[in-house]
């Protein structure tokens, strides 16, 4: 990190007196950024992937404990066959390269989503990095890949039924233990870039009382200063959970 960036981070930290424990990110705008720069969609995704690595490391410097990123939704299968194929190839390369970098920083990686539709090579790569980092005690970074919030809830219901759990025994805590995010706390702050004002089927259950932060900045341009701005906005809010 450059000295100027360190100064920016330390200055921002002095102003931010309350940090979120769990941040969820919808990194939107890669394709629009590519179009603005006369590049192909996959080039935009490449730049976005590099930026994701930088932002994760910056949040790790803040000692944010949990970060969950929406990397590929179940609806993204509706994109062109070429773009889906390119995204999967990029994911294979990025997961392998960045996982080792994150591992050295003590970051634990989790996968949220359905494995079945993924290629065997991608399944093996995901399982490998999850196994490699499972004992790490730093940030937990969850990659929501082939993820959909409604599908997650349906999968949880199916598991509960299959295990024969009596209806009267099911409460919110029990139900949460059957979600992909079992063991993770609910989201404190959800950040979405790219000037889109919706959840897009992301962490429907886990964001019930989250603070939302929407920005028109496209993901490849969402830098450390933009992170500071989002965290400062969060710290200035008074969170309410229905009881006050």
For residue 240, the tally of other CB atoms under 10 A from its CB is 8
Q: What is the pLDDT of residue 5?
A: 44
Provide CB contacts within 8 A for 236, sequence distance 6+. none
Active-site residue (options: 54, 76, 136, 201): 76
Active-site residue (options: 3, 17, 21, 28): 28
Q: What is the pLDDT of residue 240?
A: 78
Say what the pTM is.
Answer: 0.91
Q: What is the pLDDT of residue 238?
A: 86
Query: In the sheet where 22-26 sits, what is the strand order?
Result: 108-112, 140-147, 66-73, 22-26, 189-192, 211-214
What CATH number belongs to 20-148+186-235? 3.40.1180.10
Per-domain residue ranges of the chain:
20-148+186-235
Q: What is the pLDDT of residue 141?
A: 97
Q: What is the pLDDT of residue 16?
A: 85
Q: What is the pLDDT of residue 44?
A: 95
Percentages helix, strand, coil for the chain (3-state, rounded to 5) are: 50, 15, 35
CA atoms within 13 A on the CB side of 55: 28
Nearest 5°: phi and psi at 218?
-75, 150
CA distance 244 to 241: 7
CA distance 87 to 17: 38
Residue ranges of the chain whose pLDDT lies below 70 = 1-14, 243-244
Return the H-helix or E-strand segment holding 89. helix 81-104
Query: What is the CA 194 to chain-centroid distance, rounded?
Result: 15
Active site residue 54: no
Q: What is the pLDDT of residue 244?
A: 63
CA distance 178 to 75: 22
Q: Are 61 and 16 in contact (CB under 8 A)?
A: no
pLDDT tens by residue, 140-164: 999 999 999 999 999 999 999 999 9
Active site residue 28: yes
């Amino acid at each position: 990190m450059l000295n100027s960036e360190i100064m920016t981070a330390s200055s921002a930290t002095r102003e931010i007196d309350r940090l979120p424990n769990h941040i969820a990110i919808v990194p939107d705008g890669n394709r629009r950024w590519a179009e603005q720069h006369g590049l192909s969609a996959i080039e935009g995704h490449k730049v976005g992937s590099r930026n994701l690595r930088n932002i994760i490391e910056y949040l790790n410097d803040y000692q944010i404990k949990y970060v969950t990123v929406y990397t590929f939704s179940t609806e993204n299968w509706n994109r062109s066959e070429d773009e889906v194929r390119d995204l999967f190839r990029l994911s294979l390369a990025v997961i392998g390269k960045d996982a080792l970098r994150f591992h050295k920083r003590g970051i634990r990686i989790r996968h949220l989503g359905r494995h079945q539709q993924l290629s065997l090579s991608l399944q093996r790569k995901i399982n490998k990095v999850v196994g490699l980092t499972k004992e790490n005690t730093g940030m937990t970074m969850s990659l929501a890949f082939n993820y959909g919030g409604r599908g997650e809830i349906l999968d949880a219901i199916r598991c509960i039924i299959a295990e024969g759990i009596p209806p009267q025994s099911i409460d919110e805590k029990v139900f949460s233990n059957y979600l992909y995010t079992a063991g993770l706390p609910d989201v404190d702050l959800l950040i979405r870039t790219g000037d889109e004002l919706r959840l897009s089927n992301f962490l429907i259950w886990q964001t019930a009382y989250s603070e939302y932060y929407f920005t028109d900045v496209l993901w490849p341009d969402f830098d450390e200063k933009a992170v500071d701005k989002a965290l400062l906005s969060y710290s200035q809010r008074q969170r309410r959970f229905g009881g006050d």
